[in-house]
Amino acid sequence: MRPADLERVTVAEAADRYVELVRAKTVTGALSPATAEVYARDVATLVELAGAGTVLDDLTGEDVDALLLAFARRPDGRRSPASSASRDGAGSGSGPGSGGGQSPSSQARFRRSISALFKHAALAGWVQLNPMAAATVTAKQRGGLRPQRRALTREQAQGLIGAATEQAQAPPPRQGRRDQRTELRDAVIVLLLSTLGPRVSELVRANVEDFFTNDGVRYWRIFGKGGRTRDVPLPPGVDAVLQAYLEQGRTPASASGAGSASGDGKALLLSWRGRRLARGDVQAVIDRVQRRVDPEQRRSVTPHGLRHTTATHLLADAVDMDAVRRVLGHSDLSTLGRYRDELPGELEVAMRAHPLLRAKPPR
């Protein structure tokens, strides 16, 4: 029997009241406006998935499980074709196949948001019991619902690298202003991400002076997490494209010192206006290069997905684990396990080339 003071509000009514309360907390400084809008967006998604007319108290733990799984499968709207163009010449676009399932971090955020709603609902008398306590879907299960692996296959990665290299070697187009061309810069971004796997924050923080040559090999001194640095040698092909970019691709605006007052003049990656590229601009660059890839080899990927790609293929090619750890900038070998994705057919290849069954070399 329900208590007399239970208020059987619908999901939509509960959401409206809760969001109003959350936004009121921004006035007192208890919540930032950005955090409040995140809560509001997630609660609106809950209304959409559960049904506006559903009574909040009727939702069970099984219903919450279904909601969490439904959210995990939703397309990621942050990379929809309707997304606005990136500012300042970075370009825009969403690669083919974009709009996959939600990332684990988005799923965890959604769970926190609706948990906060149900906690308030229990205190306000909208539900008898908090159904989140009966939810059984684990974070691992939700994260496993991603429809695509994060790492590109060898063919997909080679297609992306090939498109970036061809773009760097192609003659500049005759149309358009010379100081607004970004082909070489875009190629450098894709090649560095695909072959060295830096964090996107490390990439956009890079300065020209961070690249140096020692005994004929160019290195990138990467400033990583926790104040740690690592010197990573560039593959020859990547070095050649970087050199072309430094000589031809950095815009006259930046070369003449525009933006130097804010420190942008030192940045490796610049927009055509001479400003340091932002983290959010990098995805648009990847998507733009992807459009040059053969459709048979093309698959949408994030900057972090290219970090997974680097780790996966270096390890699959039997590169020393400690060397891979140093390339990626991890302090512990055990962390590599999170960046190693399975590759189709890799077990068959390993068994065909088993070291104990190889023929002895002739004497």
Provide the residue-wise pLDDT of the chain in tens; the chain has 363 residues.
344 578 889 999 999 999 999 999 888 888 888 888 889 999 999 999 999 999 998 888 878 888 888 888 888 765 544 443 444 444 433 333 344 577 777 888 888 899 999 999 999 999 988 888 777 655 444 444 444 457 888 899 999 999 999 988 887 666 655 555 788 999 999 999 999 999 998 999 999 999 999 999 999 999 988 788 999 999 999 999 999 999 886 754 444 444 443 446 789 998 877 888 888 889 999 999 999 999 888 888 888 889 989 988 888 887 888 888 889 888 777 767 766 666 666 666 666 766 767 777 776
Judge contact between 187 and 165, C-beta under 8 A. Answer: yes
Residue 358, φ and ψ in degrees, nearest 5 = -75, 145
Annotated catalytic, 307? Answer: yes
Asked about 120 being catalytic, the answer comes back as: no
Q: What is the reported pLDDT for 347?
A: 66
Residue ranges of the domains in the chain?
11-143, 154-352
Same fold, 11-143 and 154-352: no
Rounded distance between C-alpha atoms, residue 330 and residue 325, angstroms: 5
Return the pLDDT at 308. Answer: 87
What is the total residue count of the chain?
A: 363
Kindly list the distances between the CA atom of residue 97 and the CA atoms of 73, 75, 94, 101, in Å, as whole numbers in the listed order: 14, 10, 8, 11
N-term to C-term CA, the chain? 88
313 as an active site residue: the answer is: no
> How many helices (H) and strands (E) are present in the chain, helices listed first?
14, 3
Q: Is 25 a catalytic residue?
A: no
- Given a contact cutoff of 8 angstroms between Cβ atoms, the answer to whether 304 and 105 are in contact is no
Catalytic residue, candidates 142, 154, 199, 288: 199
pLDDT at 178: 57
In the three-class reduction of DSSP (H, G, I as helix; E, B as strand; rest coil), residue 266 is classed as: helix
Catalytic residue flag (residue 225) = yes
Q: Which residue has the tokens 């990379």?
A: 79
Provide the pLDDT for residue 100. Answer: 59
Catalytic residue status for 140: no
Backbone angles phi, psi at 316, to 5 degrees: -65, -25
Eight-class DSSP state of 58: G
- Looking at the structure, give the CATH architecture of the domain made up of residues 154-352: Orthogonal Bundle (1.10)
At 275 the three-state DSSP class reads: coil
> How far is 236 from 68, CA to CA, in rounded Å?
46
* Set 25, 120, 304, 340: catalytic member: 304
Q: Whole-structure pTM over 0.85, yes or no?
A: no
Q: Is 233 left (phi over 0), alpha (psi -120 to 50) or beta?
A: beta
Per the residue annotation, which of 275, 288, 307, 313 is the catalytic one?
A: 307
> In sequence order, what DSSP letters do the residues of 204-230 get, joined into one string?
HH-BGGGEEEETTEEEEEEE-GGG-EE
pLDDT (0 to 100) of residue 88: 44
Beta strand extents in the chain (DSSP E only): 211-214, 217-223, 229-233
Pick the CATH number of 11-143 from 1.10.150.130, 3.90.1150.10, 3.30.365.10, 1.10.3720.10: 1.10.150.130
Q: Which of 178, 225, 291, 326 is catalytic?
A: 225
pLDDT at 348 (0 to 100): 65
CA separation for the pair 9, 121 (Å, rounded) = 10
